Amino acid sequence: MSHLAIGPVLLPFLAGLVLLLGERWPLAWQRALGLAATAGLWPLALSLLAAVADRGYQVYALGDWPPPFGIVLVADRLSALMVTLTAILALFALLYASRGTDAAGRHFHSLFQLQLFGLNGAFLTGDLFNLFVFFEVLLIASYALLLYGGGAARTRAGLHYVVLNLVGSSLFLIAAGLLYGVTGTLNLADLAVRVAALAPEDTALVRAGGLLLLVVFALKGALLPLHFWLPAAYCSASAPVAALFAVMTKVGVYAIIRVYTLVFGAGAGTLAGLAEAWLWPLALGTLMMGAVGVLGSRNLRRVAAYLVVISVGTLLAGVGLGTAPGLAASLYYLLHTTLLTGGLFLLADVIGRQRGEAGDALDPGVPFPHPLPPGLLFFGAAVAAAGMPPLSGYLGKLLLLQAALAAGQARWLWPVVLGGGLLTLMALGRAGSTLFWRRAPGPVADAAPPDAVALAAAGALILTSPLLAVLAGPVIALAQATAAQLADPASYVAAVLGSRVRP
């Protein structure tokens, strides 16, 4: 049994604990350790990605208790992809945070590592209750990170965020209890087997449990009626935290893909396709709400927050198609949008610091002395976010439109995605011209040039968009292989439960 699958969970956990003990160390040491641990996730995540591609599922039975009795970690292509994405985003967010954000209080680096521990655990676990536990780990770290630095706006947004997520946790437990009460298992692979062989009189309870889970995941992922917490929370968090939160909504998306392709997938009899019927209209609605929100935003960070809402809508529309090409398009778009919105949050902070009093509000401000580097980055980010050629947003949307055409749903998806893109383009164009060109009378602000490392961190995340466009061939092949693996839940079940028979 290879120990590779537990690596991305253990490393941030241990680093977080050491940092907790070292709370009185000089900040430079904490930064070095935090950055080293986050950079250490890269080789782990990439080797996991390679191992999954070469040798298939990596099943890790904790304590060597055989599944379904013990708890397993399962790395498949989707998990490895999400872990890799998190590692990339986290390193640049932490790099940005190390330029001053982390000095606002204690424990920033420890909390950051524990957040990564929760994220990686949620992506790798093969057990429903363990998914709940890792959700709680990442949530409690995110509560503290959201409130990091203090202030009235953060407290107000934090209170809403915490209460909503506590209600979500209660619903998660009810759903897990319902599924356990009927099927007698919490292992996802075993659940898939039991749900497929369900007695007709039990389906109603399992359906209720499955749809309750959808509510929980939709809350984490900010799907239509449950997305109102997101803009306020993401706007009030400090920039690197907001950037890391770009992957938090994707945990909800990941959980939806995992549970509804595996447990309620094609083999689930009368319960097959439980979520898709709900996901499709809600995702399109989310997309529209997000586009309207972008247009109505009055500062750049709120624009970025609504771009996260749009991205969730677009992603889940691809999932809601219920076809492998739709899923592949979503996965490619997921890579693009997570890194890009993360970069945009960082860039908004860079620009806000340059403009002095006006901050990142979309009002004319006094001219600022170093507009060129952030301006060029903003232009690139806007082109990518609006889905204009030649960057990755365009390719992602094109794949999605093609998948919708093949699935016969083009008349719903095309107008919403293209109309949403147009509104995004208008909003970003207006934001850019207001921030960089419209001048209020007054002398040039005497802001220092933007911090080179902070600008590089934001730039690196935004430049992943041209990189994803250049490497589109291999990345799309990876997304298609991932979607193909998800379309075959039987292989997942065989990999997990088959490992019961050990040589």
Which positions lie near other proteins, rule CB under 8 A? Answer: 129, 133, 136, 140, 143, 147, 150-152, 155-156, 158-160, 162-163, 166-167, 169-170, 173-174, 176-178, 180-181, 186
Q: Which residues contact 117 (CB under 8 A, 6 or more apart)?
A: 9, 12, 13, 16, 137, 138, 141
- Spatial separation of the C-alpha atoms in residues 9 and 103, rounded to whole Å: 26
Minimum CB distance to other proteins, residue 185 (Å): 9
- Spatial separation of the C-alpha atoms in residues 92 and 218, rounded to whole Å: 27
Alpha-carbon distances of 58 from 53, 117, 121, 190, rounded to whole Å: 10, 19, 14, 17
Minimum CB distance to other proteins, residue 178 (Å): 7
Residue 333's nearest CA partner among 472, 126, 158, 143 is 472
- Spatial separation of the C-alpha atoms in residues 192 and 263, rounded to whole Å: 4
Q: 71 vs 319, which CB is nearer to other proteins?
A: 71
- Tell me phi and psi for residue 299, to 5 degrees: -145, 165
Q: 147 vs 455, which CB is nearer to other proteins?
A: 147
Minimum CB distance to other proteins, residue 159 (Å): 5
Q: Residue 61, SS3?
A: strand
- Spatial separation of the C-alpha atoms in residues 208 and 116, rounded to whole Å: 31
The answer to whether 450 and 370 are in contact (CB under 8 A) is: yes
Beta bridge partners of 60: 73
Minimum CB distance to other proteins, residue 453 (Å): 32
Minimum CB distance to other proteins, residue 90 (Å): 23
Q: Residue 268, SS3?
A: coil
Max distance between CA atoms of the chain, in angstroms, equals 78
Minimum CB distance to other proteins, residue 132 (Å): 8
Minimum CB distance to other proteins, residue 162 (Å): 6
Q: 37 vs 147, which CB is nearer to other proteins?
A: 147
Q: How deeply is 201 buried, as exposed, middle or buried, from its count of CB atoms within 10 A (0-12, 13-18, 19+)?
A: exposed
Q: 305 vs 454, which CB is nearer to other proteins?
A: 305
Q: 150 vs 415, which CB is nearer to other proteins?
A: 150
Minimum CB distance to other proteins, residue 62 (Å): 14
